[in-house]
């Protein structure tokens, strides 16, 4: 019988009471007395030399407080990049300046050039229209390969070219080349991982506030990691020490990665609030979001898989171009390298894996992490080339994968990571069971009778989550530690506030984290609340991304709760006049083992705060503990996904008829929330596979900058619920964190795109169309064109 409370139960999400009744407190709901509004004048050319900005007429417009340009930010730091990648020659990556407001040149459509602060938003907008901007349009580079050709226009004049780094990783290239030279079969595939816009439901917002009385700055912002913003903006951009800077990320309406990064608008509002001595608010429009939120993916890859005569994978070689956009966003450099190259072995025991990545500057919006971040790109390449190889050598795609699975753990891959645990056979078998493979032939026949082509697609994936061991990522170039922290504050009457460094922007932490603490203490979940998103209230935290919250911050919370239990047992021992070693905690009661003598949780907590009868000579009053937790390894969620699609040969339209995910997330605290996460992730993956595409023209104009041209997945693009099964019953608990959890936030978005494309190719092949690949989004026009040969 399912549990009704604690770990493994599925209580309804308590935060939904406010989210579903319109009572959330989002950044845009925050209005500070006397606030002014900022409107950014953004470049409408992809690349331009700023000859002059005449703000005189605009400054005289009604309501204008002050107009800022790049000149106002000379002497202020630029937006920093948080990860230094070292290239294959041992040289650090190229790291061009990223000013808050453009200085000298604008480098992408949407690059902020000037900012008007006014009494009202309308007045700010009107004044921005009156700014006389003399900008000379320069040739733009958009295509990555063209950007690397000799004589290409340079995005940054002070760099030699548009190459950020040329990175190589894994097995020595000459060894892998030798394996390929002796392979029985080599399968090659060139593909594009399409550029995406994250499109969280809530656009970004920033409110800067400054108190002259005590020289303190405060920023309210739509962030997944307020402490990271405080660190980057305080230390690198504006020079504000931590004790004079508070960053608050209240309710945040979705992030998907794009709200990890420190953005110019955050620094601007904080800076301008002090400069104007007035709170300054910015609310992004949806149009601005398209051209200023960091985009995702945008890799162009060639992947080669070598097989021996028995169809064993013996070598893998990849060559990827990764678009950085015009500037390096906070974690941009790490995505195609350490979050991508390290996953290139996938679920397979391929002994030689060599990964090459060239990161390229172009006149486009910066590109950074988006749900999955590097791991979807790795999985897509690998699982597409395996599917093609299966067809070429004439074996079943499931059997080919199975034959090459890693089966012994721990397993050290040729790409530096060590998988602690897993069971890929178990998830594959679960997927097969749920997909009803024996029934496929009949379903295909039924589709064909309807004039449709039906295809089956399979995919396995692994990801590295629970980011990440600080000493390891430090060696790899991270400029931060990636631990997390929690403070468990037990109040006198036994209720608990847990201050966590993780940030919840849809994940359900407010429900899940109390389940863990309540289980450990044997008390009711309603006695536990979490506090997050405010640097003045929580000890520290690296935030939420990379499916890390429960694995890293949850572990910190467990450690802090263990400290609480240890201290509470001392208090209980004193109250019971027993030895501490004899005290047991069960169901919220401290008892002497083997007796019926006990004290309740509330008696102990009250004693801690009213220490009349208390061992003051041994322990301090109060009951509050903090723990920092630095993970020993990444966690490695993995799974097997499959789907069936129908292709309408007349229109090329693809519909997803059936989808199954069989995931291994280790232990699961709240199954309902895990299933919701996977449902959402798969929806985003289907969006990437079938619909979403961020398009630029050859001049660097952003063409898909509204929902008229950027297609988001909708409910009717997904399979009906009875054909949409997310399973997480295969569980190999993580071996190195106290909860045995691995993380589930990104899996769906990683596992689903190749599943869909593999199924579409299978459908077309079944109809006699010799189509080996279609780039995403697999839109009706692309499918139809491919079918015409």
Partner 1 sequence: MHMNDSQEINAPVEQVWAAILDAEILKQCVPGCTEMAGNAEDGFDATVVQKVGPVKATFKGHVSLSDMNAPNSLHLSGEGKGGAAGFAKGGADVSLSATENGGTLLEYTVEAKVGGKLAQLGSRIVDGFAKKMADQFFTNFKTAIEGPSEEGETDGEDSGEKKGWFKRIVS
Q: How far apart are CA 715 and CA 722, in angstroms?
A: 14
DSSP 8-state code for residue 666: B
Q: How far apart are CA 483 and CA 628, in angstroms?
A: 7
Q: How far apart are CA 713 and CA 708, in angstroms?
A: 13
CB of 287 to partner 1, least distance (A): 6
Handedness of CA 687, 301, 750, 386 (dihedral sign): positive
CB of 135 to partner 1, least distance (A): 10
Asked if 45 interacts with partner 1 (CB under 8 A), we say yes
Which of 25, 211, 579, 706 forms a contact with partner 1 (CB under 8 A)?
706
Q: How far apart are CA 275 and CA 69, in angstroms?
A: 13
Q: How far apart are CA 401 and CA 113, in angstroms?
A: 51
CB of 524 to partner 1, least distance (A): 52
CB of 702 to partner 1, least distance (A): 5
CB of 706 to partner 1, least distance (A): 5
Asked if 491 interacts with partner 1 (CB under 8 A), we say no
Enumerate residues 286-325 that contact partner 1 by CB under 8 A: 287, 290-291
Which of 587, 703, 712, 785 forms a contact with partner 1 (CB under 8 A)?
703
Stretch that binds partner 1, among 39-47, 576-584, 665-673, 766-774 (CB under 8 A): 39-47
Enumerate residues 598-617 that contact partner 1 by CB under 8 A: none
CB of 283 to partner 1, least distance (A): 16
Q: Cβ closer to partner 1: 616 or 703?
A: 703
DSSP 8-state code for residue 458: E
Q: Cβ closer to partner 1: 198 or 486?
A: 198
The length of the chain in residues reads 789
Stretch that binds partner 1, among 322-330, 554-562, 706-714, 715-723 (CB under 8 A): 706-714
Q: Cβ closer to partner 1: 312 or 704?
A: 704
Stretch that binds partner 1, among 121-129, 246-254, 406-414, 651-659 (CB under 8 A): 121-129
Q: Cβ closer to partner 1: 120 or 211?
A: 120
Which of 3, 697, 729, 781 forms a contact with partner 1 (CB under 8 A)?
697
Report CA-CA distances (Å) from 367 to 263, 293, 697, 701: 13, 9, 17, 16
CB 307 within 8 A of CB 389: yes
CB of 116 to partner 1, least distance (A): 12
Strands 724-727 and 654-664: parallel
CB 740 within 8 A of CB 667: yes
CB of 188 to partner 1, least distance (A): 34
Q: Is 590 left (phi over 0), alpha (psi -120 to 50) or beta?
A: beta
**Considering all CA atoms of the chain, what is the largest pairwise distance in Å, rounded to the nearest integer?**
86
Omega before residue 128 within 30° of 0, cis: no
CB 294 within 8 A of CB 197: no
CB of 111 to partner 1, least distance (A): 12
Stretch that binds partner 1, among 38-46, 226-234, 632-640, 650-658 (CB under 8 A): 38-46
Angle subtended by helix axes 375-393 and 397-404, to nearest 10: 120
Q: Cβ closer to partner 1: 29 or 709?
A: 709
Q: How far apart are CA 682 and CA 684, in angstroms?
A: 5
Report CA-CA distances (Å) from 622 to 48, 565, 575: 61, 13, 15
- State the binding string over 125-154 for partner 1 (x if CB under 8 A, else -): x--xx-------------------------
Tell me the site size for partner 1, rule CB under 8 A: 20
Which of 497, 701, 731, 765 forms a contact with partner 1 (CB under 8 A)?
701
CB of 109 to partner 1, least distance (A): 7
Enumerate residues 401-430 that contact partner 1 by CB under 8 A: none
CB of 136 to partner 1, least distance (A): 11
Asked if 44 interacts with partner 1 (CB under 8 A), we say yes
Name, in order, each residue with C-beta under 8 angstroms of 441's C-beta and a sequence gap of 6 or more: none
Stretch that binds partner 1, among 26-34, 42-50, 162-170, 239-247 (CB under 8 A): 42-50
CB 401 within 8 A of CB 385: no
Which regions of 463-562 does DSSP assign to beta strands (E)? Answer: 484-490, 496-500, 528-531
What is the chain's alpha carbon radius of gyration, rounded to the nearest angstrom? 27
Asked if 54 interacts with partner 1 (CB under 8 A), we say no
CB of 385 to partner 1, least distance (A): 33
Q: Cβ closer to partner 1: 290 or 321?
A: 290
CB of 705 to partner 1, least distance (A): 3
Q: Cβ closer to partner 1: 124 or 760?
A: 124
Phi and psi angles of residue 351, each rounded to the nearest 5 degrees, phi first: -75, -25
Q: Cβ closer to partner 1: 495 or 704?
A: 704
CB of 671 to partner 1, least distance (A): 42
Q: How far apart are CA 677 and CA 750, in angstroms?
A: 12
Report CA 532 to chain centroid distance, whole Å.
18
Residue keyed to tokens 């753990």: 409
Which of 86, 699, 723, 765 forms a contact with partner 1 (CB under 8 A)?
699
CB of 149 to partner 1, least distance (A): 23
User: Contacts by 408-412 with C-beta closer than 8 Å and gap 24+?
Assistant: 410/735, 411/349
Enumerate residues 709-748 that contact partner 1 by CB under 8 A: 709
Q: Cβ closer to partner 1: 287 or 491?
A: 287
Stretch that binds partner 1, among 123-131, 387-395, 446-454, 498-506 (CB under 8 A): 123-131
Q: Cβ closer to partner 1: 46 or 322?
A: 46
Phi and psi angles of residue 169, each rounded to the nearest 5 degrees, phi first: -155, 150
Strands 48-54 and 299-307: unpaired
Phi and psi angles of residue 218, each rounded to the nearest 5 degrees, phi first: -140, 135
DSSP 8-state code for residue 137: E
Asked if 528 interacts with partner 1 (CB under 8 A), we say no
Q: Cβ atoms within 10 A of the Cβ of 185, count?
A: 14
Distance separating the N- and C-terminal Cα atoms of the chain? 55
CB 349 within 8 A of CB 313: yes
CB of 113 to partner 1, least distance (A): 12
Q: How far apart are CA 771 and CA 391, in angstroms?
A: 11
Omega before residue 468 within 30° of 0, cis: yes
Which of 309, 708, 715, 721 forms a contact with partner 1 (CB under 8 A)?
708
CB of 415 to partner 1, least distance (A): 39
Which of 608, 705, 739, 787 forms a contact with partner 1 (CB under 8 A)?
705
Q: How far apart are CA 518 and CA 213, in angstroms?
A: 42
Enumerate residues 268-287 that contact partner 1 by CB under 8 A: 287
Q: Cβ closer to partner 1: 126 or 194?
A: 126
Stretch that binds partner 1, among 30-38, 272-280, 409-417, 697-705 (CB under 8 A): 697-705
Name the H helices within 232-279. 264-276
CB of 41 to partner 1, least distance (A): 9
Which of 36, 79, 102, 109 forms a contact with partner 1 (CB under 8 A)?
109
Q: Cβ closer to partner 1: 184 or 703?
A: 703
Binding site for partner 1 (CB under 8 A): 44-46, 109, 125, 128-129, 287, 290-291, 697, 699, 701-706, 708-709
């Amino acid at each position: 019988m399912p549990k009704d409370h604690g770990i493994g139960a599925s209580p309804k999400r308590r935060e939904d009471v406010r989210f579903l009744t319109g009572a959330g407190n989002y950044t845009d709901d925050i209005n500070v007395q006397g606030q002014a509004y900022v409107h950014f004048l953004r470049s409408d050319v992809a690349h331009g030399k700023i000859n002059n900005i005449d703000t005189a007429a605009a400054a005289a417009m009604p309501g204008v407080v002050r107009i800022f340009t790049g000149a106002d930010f000379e002497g202020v730091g630029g937006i920093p990049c948080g990860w230094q990648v070292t290239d294959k020659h041992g040289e650090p990556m190229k790291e061009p300046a990223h000013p808050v407001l453009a200085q000298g040149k604008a480098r992408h459509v949407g690059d902020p050039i000037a900012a008007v602060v006014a009494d009202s938003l309308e007045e700010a907008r009107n004044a921005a229209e009156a700014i006389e901007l003399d900008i000379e349009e320069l040739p733009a580079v958009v295509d990555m390969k063209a950007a690397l050709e000799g004589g290409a226009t340079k995005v940054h004049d002070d760099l030699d070219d548009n190459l950020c780094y040329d990175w190589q990783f894994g097995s020595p290239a000459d060894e892998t080349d030798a394996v390929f030279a002796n392979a029985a079969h080599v399968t090659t595939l060139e593909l594009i991982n399409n550029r995406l816009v994250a499109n969280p439901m809530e656009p970004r917002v920033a409110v800067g506030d400054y108190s002259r009385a005590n020289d303190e700055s405060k920023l309210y912002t739509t962030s997944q990691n307020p402490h990271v913003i405080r660190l980057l903006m305080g230390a690198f951009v504006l020079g504000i020490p931590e004790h004079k800077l508070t960053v608050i990320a209240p309710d945040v309406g979705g992030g998907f990665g794009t709200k990890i990064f420190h953005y110019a608008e955050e620094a601007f509002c904080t800076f301008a609030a002090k400069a104007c001595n007035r709170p300054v608010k910015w609310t992004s429009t949806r149009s601005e979001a398209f051209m200023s939120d960091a985009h995702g993916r945008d890799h162009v890859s060639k992947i080669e898989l070598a097989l021996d005569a028995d169809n064993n994978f013996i070598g893998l070689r990849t060559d990827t171009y990764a678009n950085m956009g015009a500037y390096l966003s906070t974690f941009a450099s790490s995505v195609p390298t350490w979050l991508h190259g390290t996953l290139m072995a996938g679920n397979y025991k391929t002994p030689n894996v060599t990964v090459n990545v060239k990161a390229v500057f172009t006149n486009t919006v910066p590109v950074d992490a988006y749900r999955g971040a590097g791991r979807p790109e790795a999985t897509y390449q690998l699982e597409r080339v395996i599917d093609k190889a299966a067809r070429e050598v004439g074996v079943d795609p499931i059997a080919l994968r199975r034959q090459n699975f890693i089966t012994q753990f721990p397993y050290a891959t040729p790409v530096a990571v060590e998988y602690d645990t897993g069971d890929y056979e178990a998830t594959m078998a679960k997927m097969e069971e749920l997909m009803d493979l024996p029934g496929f032939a009949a379903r295909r026949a039924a589709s064909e009778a309807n004039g449709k082509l039906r295809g089956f697609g399979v995919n396995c994936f692994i990801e590295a989550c629970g980011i990440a061991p600080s000493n390891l990522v430090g060696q790899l170039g991270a400029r931060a530690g990636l631990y997390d922290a929690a403070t468990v504050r037990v109040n006198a009457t036994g209720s608990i506030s847990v201050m966590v460094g993780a940030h919840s922007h849809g994940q359900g932490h407010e429900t899940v984290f109390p389940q863990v603490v309540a289980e450990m203490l044997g008390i009711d979940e309603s006695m536990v609340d979490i506090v997050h998103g405010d640097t003045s209230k929580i000890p520290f935290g690296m935030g939420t991304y990379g499916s890390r919250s429960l694995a890293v911050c949850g572990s910190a919370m467990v450690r802090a709760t263990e400290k609480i239990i240890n201290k509470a047992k001392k208090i209980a021992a004193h109250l019971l006049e027993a030895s501490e070693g004899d005290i047991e905690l069960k169901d919220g009661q401290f008892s002497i083992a083997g007796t019926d003598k006990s004290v309740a949780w509330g008696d102990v907590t009250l004693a801690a705060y009213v220490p009349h009868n208390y061992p003051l000579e041994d322990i301090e009053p109060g009951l509050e503990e903090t723990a920092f937790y630095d993970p020993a390894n990444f966690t490695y969620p993995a799974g097997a996904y499959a789907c069936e699609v129908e292709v309408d040969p007349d229109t090329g339209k693809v519909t997803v008829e059936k989808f199954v995910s069989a995931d291994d997330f280790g232990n699961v605290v709240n199954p309902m929330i895990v299933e919701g996460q996977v449902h959402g992730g798969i929806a985003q993956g289907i969006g990437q596979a079938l619909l979403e595409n961020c398009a630029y023209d050859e001049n660097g104009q952003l063409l898909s900058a509204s929902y008229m041209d950027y297609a988001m997945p909708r409910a009717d693009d997904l399979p009906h619920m009875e054909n949409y099964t997310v399973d997480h019953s295969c569980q190999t608990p993580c071996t190195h964190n106290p909860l045995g959890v691995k993380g589930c936030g990104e899996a769906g978005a990683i596992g689903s795109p190749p599943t869909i494309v593999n199924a579409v190719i299978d459908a077309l092949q079944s109809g006699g169309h010799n189509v080996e690949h279609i780039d995403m989004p697999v839109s009706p026009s692309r499918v139809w064109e491919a079918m015409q040969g």
